[in-house]
Structure 1
Amino acid sequence: MKINRGLKITLLLLAIAWLLKIIEWSLEVNLYHLGIYPRNRLGFFGIFFSPFIHGGLKHIISNSFSFCILCFSLYLFIPKIASKVLIQLTLISGCMVWFFARPSFHIGASGVIYGIASFLFFLGIFQKNPGSLIISLCIAVLYQGMLTGLIPNEQGVSWESHLSGSIAGLVLAYYYKNIETEFSQKKEIKIEDDFSFEGYRNIENKAFIYKYSDNNKRVKE
C-alpha cells in the first residue's frame, strides 16, 4: 500500500509537469512567467507553480529522474509525513527564493529535489540508527554531484533554489528527527515477569484458575 501510494503521487506530480510542457510545445507558448519572481507580488504565486514549469527538454528530463527517485524514497521510508514534508519543502524553499534570490524568473523542481535529498540525508544523521544512516550514505553517494549546484557556477541555473531547498531540508530533518521511519520502527516484545513462589510461572487464565484451601493445598477449578 505504501509503495502503491508513493508511486501514484510521484507519477501524478511528474505527469502535471510533463502536461504543462506538452501544452507549451503544442501552443508554442512559454510559461516561464508562472515561476517565482523575487520580491514581486505576482511573482509570489510562482511558489506554487514553479516546480511544474521547466525551461527545456533537458531540464525537465533531468529533474524527472531525480524527482522520481527521491520523491518515491520519501514516501517509502517516511510514509506518515511524506506529503506534509513535500508541501513544506516546496513552500519554505519557494519563500526563501522569493525573498533572497536574484530578480529573475526561477522555475523547475530542482529546489524541491535538493530539499528532499537534504531532508533524507540529514534525517539519517540526526536519528543515528543504522537503517537511517544507510539512507544518508546512499544519498551522499548518488547525489554528491549536487553540491556544485549550491554555488553560482553556471549561467541560467537557479543556484538560489538549490541552496534554499537544501536549507529547508536540513531544518525539517532536525524538526522531524524523532519521527518513526520504516527503519526506526521497533516491535514491542512483551515479556511476562509474573512469577510466584520460588520462580514458578503463574499460568492462571480464564479457563484455569487456582484457589487456595485452608490447608494451603491448591485445588483446580
Structure 2
Amino acid sequence: MLRNKEVRIPLLLISIAWFLYALELSLNIQLFHLGIYPRERLGFIGIFLHPFIHGGFNHIFSNTISFGILSFALYYFIPKVADKILIQLTIYSGFMVWIFARPSFHVGASGIIYGIASFLFFIGLFQKNPRSLIVSLCVAVLYHGMLTGLVPNEKGISWESHLSGSIVGFFLAFFYRHVETTFSQKVHTDLQHDLYKEGYQPLENENIKYHYTEIDKKKTKQ
C-alpha cells in the first residue's frame, strides 16, 4: 500500500523546480547564477539550490521523469532513510562539484538522479537479498544508458555532477547496507508465516528446553 510520503516528497521537490522555471519564463529572467560555481564563495550556495534550477524545458522535463521514478522507488523500497539519502546526495555530490568541476555554472537535478540510481543499484548488491537484487537489475536495465553521462561526451552537460552523484550513491549504499528495506520486511513476514503454516514456532523463551534423560534413552531402545 502506498504511503503519502512516497508521493508527497518527490512531488514537492518537482513542484519547486517547476515553480522556479515558470518564474523565469514569466519574469523573463535567468536563475542559472544560483547554481554551483566551483571554488567561488558565491557559487557555494548553489550546492543547496542547484537541483531546482534548470537550463530549459527539455532539461527540466527529462529530469522530472527520471527523478520522479527514482525518488518514488527510493521512498517505496527504503523509506527509513530516504530523506537522509536525498539530503546527503545533494550536499555531498554538490560539494564534490564545487571542489573539482570545471569553472562554470552547474545546475539541474541530474547529479541527484545519478546518485539515486547508483544507490538503488549498489544497495541491492551489498545486501545480497534476492528481492532487492531485482531492483538492482531493473535499474541496470532501465538506466544503463546513463553510463555515457559519466564522462565528457557532450558540450553543456555537467558530467562532473553525474560522476559525483554516482560516487556518493555508491558510498551511501555501502554505509546503509544494513538498513531495513521493504523487501527485507516482506521476507521476514513470509518466513514467519511459512513457519507457522508448517506447525513450527520460534522458541522465544530460553527456559523452554527439552531435557534428554536416561529414561528417555531406554525408551528409545525399546
Structure 1 and Structure 2 fold alike (TM over 0.5): yes
Q: Superposition RMSD on alpha carbons, in Å?
A: 1.8
Q: Deviations over 1:189-220 (max 9, x none)?
A: 4424836688xxxxxxxxxxxxxxxxxxxxxx
* 1:22 counterpart residue number: 22
* 2:103 counterpart residue number: 103
Residues 3 and 75 in structure 1, CA contact (< 8 A), matched pair in contact too: no
The aligned runs of 1:57-72 (5 Å cut-off) are 57-72=57-72
Q: Deviations over 1:154-211 (max 9, x none)?
A: 000000000000000001000011111111122484424836688xxxxxxxxxxxxx
Cα gap change, 1:184 to 1:104, in 2 (>3 Å): same
Structure 2: unaligned runs, 5 residues or longer? 193-200, 213-222
TM-score (norm 2): 0.86
* 2:167 counterpart residue number: 167
* 2:197 counterpart residue number: none
Correspondence 1:77 to 2:88 = no
* 2:158 counterpart residue number: 158
Distance in 2 between residues matched to 1:23 and 1:195, nearest whole Å: 71
Distance in 2 between residues matched to 1:40 and 1:98, nearest whole Å: 8
In the TM superposition, residue 3 of structure 1 has moved relative to its aligned partner by 3.0
Larger Rg: 1
Aligned length: 199
TM-score (norm 1): 0.86
Correspondence 1:3 to 2:3 = yes
Cα gap change, 1:105 to 1:196, in 2 (>3 Å): closer
Structure with greater strand share of residues: 1
* 2:202 counterpart residue number: 191
Residues 38 and 102 in structure 1, CA contact (< 8 A), matched pair in contact too: yes
Distance in 1 between residues matched to 2:132 and 2:99, nearest whole Å: 33
Structure with greater helix share of residues: 2
* 1:143 counterpart residue number: 143
